[in-house]
Structure 1
Amino acid sequence: MRSKKSQAVLARLKHVTGTKTDVSLSSALQISPQTLSSWKGRDSTPYSLCVEIAQTRGISLDWLLLGEGPMLRHAPAAPAQTGQENTKREDNILGLWRMLDEDERCAIQSAMEEKKRLRDMELKLSEMTAILTALQHSIDS
C-alpha cells in the first residue's frame, strides 16, 4: 500500500477501533506508538493485522483495505468454539445476570438492544454507501 491508501487504511482502523489519535490506535491494536509511526513512515500496514481485525470484528476486508463495499460482512465471524465452551460461557453470564437487580438487568438489556440496532443501521448505511458509489461510478463512466 502506498501513500494515501495506507493512510486511508489507518483511518478506517481508527474508525473500527473507535479511536481518534495515533496513540489511542496503537493502544487499541496493542502495538507501540513507534511501530505505528514506522508503518506511517514506510507507507505500509501489515496485512496480517488487517485480516485478524476483519475476522474478529466481522469487518469486510474490501472495506478495510480498499474502502469499497459495506463495512460489515453479512455474517460476522464468531470464534470457533465447541458447544461445551459456549455452555460454560453462557452459564457464567447467566450466573452474573442472576446477581443483578432488575434495574441493572433492564439497563444491560437496553444497551444490548441499542447495540444491535446500531449494528443493523451501520450495515444498512454501508450497503447504501456501496450502492451510491456504484451508481456514481456508472454515471461517471
Structure 2
Amino acid sequence: MRSKKSQAVLTRLKQITGTTSDASLSSALKISPQTLSSWKGRDSTPYSLCVDIAQARGISLDWLLLGEGPVLRSAPAQSAEENQDNATRENTILALWRLLNEEDRRAIQHALEEKRRLRDMELQLSEMAAILATLQQSKET
C-alpha cells in the first residue's frame, strides 16, 4: 500500500494491537524495528499484512486502511432460518430473565461483565506473550 496515509494506517495498527510505540508495534506485528522504519521511510505499509490482521481480529479494512466506517467488520449475512433460531433463543432468554428477581439479574449481569473483562484480558495477555516471545528471539540473536 502506498499513500500519504501510511502513517495513519500505522497509527490505527497501534490502536488495534494496543501498542503506543514503534518498538512495541514491531513486536506485536512480529517484524523487526528496521522493517517498520523502512515502511515509514517509504511511506508504505504492506497490504497483505493489513488484510491478515483485519481478518484475524474482525477489523474492517475500510477503517484500517482509510479510517472510514466502523472499526469492526459487520457480521456475515445470516439465513432466514438462522435469524429465526436466534430470535427464538433471544425470546426464550428474555422470558427467563423476566422470571428472575432483581438480585439474580444483577448477579447474572455482573457475571457477563466479568466474562467480557476476562476475554479482553486474555486477548491482551496473548498479545503481550507474542511481544515477549519476539523480544526473547531478538535477544538470542
Q: How far apart in 2 are the matches of 1:115 and 1:11?
A: 26
Q: How many residues align?
A: 86
Q: 1:27 — aligned with what?
A: 27
Unpaired runs of 5+ residues, structure 2, are 77-110, 121-141
Q: 1:38 — aligned with what?
A: 38
SS in 1 for 2:52: helix
SS in 2 for 1:19: coil
- TM-score normalised according to structure 1 size: 0.55
Q: 2:117 — aligned with what?
A: 114
What's the % identity of the aligned pairs? 72
Q: 1:16 — aligned with what?
A: 16
Q: 1:2 — aligned with what?
A: 3
AA at the equivalent of 2:75: A
Unpaired runs of 5+ residues, structure 1, are 77-107, 118-141
- TM-score normalised according to structure 2 size: 0.55
Q: How far apart in 1 are the matches of 2:62 and 2:113?
A: 32
Q: How far apart in 2 are the matches of 1:111 and 1:50?
A: 31
Deviation string 1:56-96 (CA, Å, 9 cap, x unpaired) is: 000000000000000001228xxxxxxxxxxxxxxxxxxxx
